[in-house]
Structure 1
């Protein structure tokens, strides 16, 4: 009885294997027949192309908001990582006017000096914006101040643009010696790339007070002696040109 059962089981397994093999053969034969159809290759090509186009479209849509250039524009290179202020400059001018003074340039007889690098104004023309970019390593950065220099490369006196309190005097390995003056109402002026600083933190200065001489900085070493001048309102960089009464 046991031998009969074993033979029967063996026979059943053989029949199952033959049936399975037959099905595989039929499947392979069916696929070969499908490949032999004239319409199969063009159809497969069209399906593949449609999938590729769809993937490209999705990828492009996802990356729509990414910059299209190979350079990276960052803000606040020289001594600041603040952002460009979004307020209306006229409103900001009204706030600073409460100090009772109109801001003046930090140099005497500004017409005697040249502007090496202007302030990066996002509303300016493409040519003007390009002129206000500086290279830092392998990237380009928006210039958040105005750089003044003597046409002959001489050192010159740096003056306080407004009356106020000296809130920072330090030596920065990148920006050189720098001074910050607070004028109230959240408005401060920043002076970098200095030498022979004559003020200290806590000093009260009047408009036009000589606070240092123009010097050099590592980030803009190619300029030689120059002054990097910034204006900030509530911690954000603003265009100094908007605060000078012309």
Structure 2
């Protein structure tokens, strides 16, 4: 049989190669084999957790090392205990207030109710606990006495001693504040008042009506009340130790 009568054979086709097909298949297979191993997933989790903990530690360290700047105005200090933090309480026996005997800044104290007493280190545990004020997560000793009318009415606020009005201001949280300076550098402080009847520089005599009890934002839960403090050289003094009844 000659070549012309032989059946023609198709030329063998060269196998087609898809670009990247072989390597992609190998890569996919490799990842599947890797994740199929039991130790891989826990290892990845532990690595991620370590990174998160490290970032949190770095953030907290940076936050704690951030310095606080600015000065604190003594008149902007919260009435709850921060003044007493500057030093221990003053012994009332060491205070000289002149010839006058201090009186309560109220027309009739017996008709009033003490809602928050002064924090006295010498008091009983129960009495000290009753004189602690909570503001958020902060607990502070109460450095004054808060008076209210049991019926919720306002009442006259009197000058406890004769002296000169050295400060009158509306505080953003403590309400209207009046400070009177007396002999011996004693200062009486009247906060959360309204209808203020005196100005800075005024000389007032004991028993003068200087304001009425009002409200403030810091102790809004108390309603209408008077927050009364006595200070000697900037340190808190228990008013009960200065008044002879």
Tell me which residue corresponds to 2:151: 152
Q: Aligned partners of 2:128 and 2:172: how far apart in 1?
A: 27
Which consecutive unaligned segments of at least 5 residues does structure 1 have?
1-75
Tell me which residue corresponds to 1:89: 92
For residue 155 of structure 1, give the secondary structure of its aligned residue in structure 2: coil
Which consecutive unaligned segments of at least 5 residues does structure 2 have?
1-76
* Greater Cα offset, 222-231 or 135-144: 135-144
Tell me which residue corresponds to 1:212: 211
Q: CA deviation at 1:224?
A: 0.3
Per-residue CA deviations over 1:138-180 (Å, capped at 9, x if unaligned) read: 1111000000010000011000000000000000011000100
Q: How does 1:60-209 map to 2 (within 5 A)?
A: 77-78=78-79, 81-83=82-84, 85-92=88-95, 95-96=96-97, 99-209=98-208
Q: CA deviation at 1:81?
A: 3.2
Q: Aligned partners of 1:180 and 1:241: how far apart in 2?
A: 18
Q: CA deviation at 1:237?
A: 0.5
Give runs of ≥4 in structure 1 deviating > 6 Å: none
Bigger radius of gyration: 2
TM-score norm. by structure 2 comes to 0.66
For residue 185 of structure 1, give the secondary structure of its aligned residue in structure 2: helix
Q: Aligned partners of 1:198 and 1:122: how far apart in 2?
A: 35
TM-score norm. by structure 1 comes to 0.65
Per-residue CA deviations over 1:45-92 (Å, capped at 9, x if unaligned) read: xxxxxxxxxxxxxxxxxxxxxxxxxxxxxxx73177322544432222
Report the RMSD for the aligned CA atoms in angstroms: 1.4
For residue 215 of structure 2, give the secondary structure of its aligned residue in structure 1: coil
- Structure with greater proportional helix content: 1
Per-residue CA deviations over 1:211-237 (Å, capped at 9, x if unaligned) read: 000000111100100000000011100
